[in-house]
Amino acid sequence: MSALTLTPLGKSIAEDTTGHGPEFTVLSMLYESNGPVDFDEICDELRTDEEKASMIVRRLMSKGYVKEL
C-alpha cells in the first residue's frame, strides 16, 4: 500500500466525533491531514505492525471510506 485518502463517505464518517477504535483512529488521521497519508505513517499512528494495519485499512476500503492513490 502507498498513500491513502478519505472518500466523501469516509469524510462524513470521520466528522462524527463519537467514533472510537483503530478504524476511527485511521479515519481521524486522514481527516486531520486533509490529504493523502503514507501507509507507514498509519502503522506508526496505530502502533502496530503492517499486517494488522493492512487489515484495518482494507476493512475501511471495503466499506468505501478510504481509497488508495
CA distance 43 to 27: 13
Find the helix packing angle between 39-46 and 21-33, rounded to 10°.
Answer: 130
pLDDT in tens, 28-60: 999 999 889 999 999 999 999 999 999 999 999
What is the reported pTM?
0.91
CA distance 62 to 23: 12
Mean of pLDDT over the chain? 94
CA distance 4 to 52: 16
CA distance 56 to 50: 10
What is the separation, in whole angstroms, between the first and last Cα of the chain? 9
pLDDT bracket for residue 19 (50, 70, 90) = confident
